[in-house]
């Protein structure tokens, strides 16, 4: 078998990974690509029907896989699943906090109920997943924790306030964990991809005009989910803390850090032009 992720495999020869939101989209693609290199998969998703189908397909292909139906907003469910996987496979090497949902709308358009909903999943889901995984990574004396945020975390485009805020929080949590976990030998990476075609918008809550704009932005993307997963795994294996995807988006990231007000002006102008055209 030809391995695609030789550096990652060399770092973690036992090849044990746990992925949240693994029933579709980026989570499923990450699982597929690691399965191709012989990794043992722990898959967590709230959609039981989809998760069962994914588990059956992997098992039929000879992949070592255990599926755990559950909700990342329920810390006990996620902790029990991670503990079970680690106990069954004598440890855990890589934890990927991938589960997330989409939200759109301005400050006054997003209801408080929708704020609580997206915070519970996008932010607290990462908190719960990290708290579940860190004891096992600590026991190993090494490990890799990958948190999936979004380029929305730094782009701060208008009309996506709740999504932007939760993904920015994921970046901040990841930055803090870099130093908290360094003494135990655990690497922390945070992925910040731009739009790519996935099932993310199935969950989107927000006004209809925001839904239309988000869908059109996703359809315009020429960055396939397969490439996003491959790039994420390759760059995390290289030890990167900040993984901005695709590479062409890194200039946006640098501009935001070097000239934040100019960056915000450009984002506002671009958003206004797209809104006027569409």
**Which residue numbers are catalytic?**
163
**Helix or strand or coil: residue 40?**
strand
Q: How many CA atoms lie within 13 A of 222 on its CB side?
A: 3
- Tell me whether residue 37 is exposed, middle or buried, using C-beta atoms within 10 angstroms of its C-beta: 0 to 12, 13 to 18, 19 or more: middle
Written as one string, the DSSP assignment of 178-241 is HHHHGGGTEEEEEEEE---SSSGGGG-BS-HHHHHHHHHHHHH----HHHHHHHHHHHHHTT-S
Candidates 216, 258, 44, 228; CA nearest to 151 is 228
């Amino acid at each position: 078998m030809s391995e695609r992720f030789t550096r990652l495999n060399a770092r973690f020869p036992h090849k044990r990974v746990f992925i949240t939101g693994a029933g579709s989209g980026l989570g499923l693609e990450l699982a597929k690509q690691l399965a191709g290199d012989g990794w043992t998969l722990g898959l967590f998703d709230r959609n039981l029907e989809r998760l069962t189908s994914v588990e059956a397909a992997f098992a039929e292909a000879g992949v070592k896989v255990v599926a755990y139906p559950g909700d990342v907003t329920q810390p006990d469910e996620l902790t029990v699943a991670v503990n079970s996987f680690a106990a069954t496979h004598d440890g855990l090497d890589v934890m990927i906090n991938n589960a997330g949902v989409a939200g759109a709308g301005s400050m006054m358009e997003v209801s408080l109920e929708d704020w609580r909903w997206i915070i519970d999943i996008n932010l607290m889901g990462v908190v719960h997943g990290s708290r579940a995984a860190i004891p096992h990574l600590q026991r190993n004396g090494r490990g890799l924790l990958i948190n999936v945020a979004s380029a929305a975390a730094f782009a701060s485009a208008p009309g996506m306030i709740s999504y932007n805020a939760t993904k920015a929080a994921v970046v901040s949590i990841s930055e803090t964990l870099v130093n908290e976990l360094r003494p135990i030998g655990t690497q922390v990476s945070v992925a910040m991809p731009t739009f790519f075609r996935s099932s993310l918008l199935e969950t989107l809550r927000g006004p209809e005009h925001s839904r239309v704009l988000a869908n059109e932005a996703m359809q315009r993307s020429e960055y396939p989910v397969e490439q996003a997963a491959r790039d994420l795994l390759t760059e995390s294996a290289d030890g990167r803390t900040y993984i901005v995807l695709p590479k062409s988006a890194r200039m946006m990231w640098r501009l935001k850090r070097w000239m934040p007000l100019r960056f915000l002006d450009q984002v506002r102008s671009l958003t206004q032009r797209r809104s006027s055209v569409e």
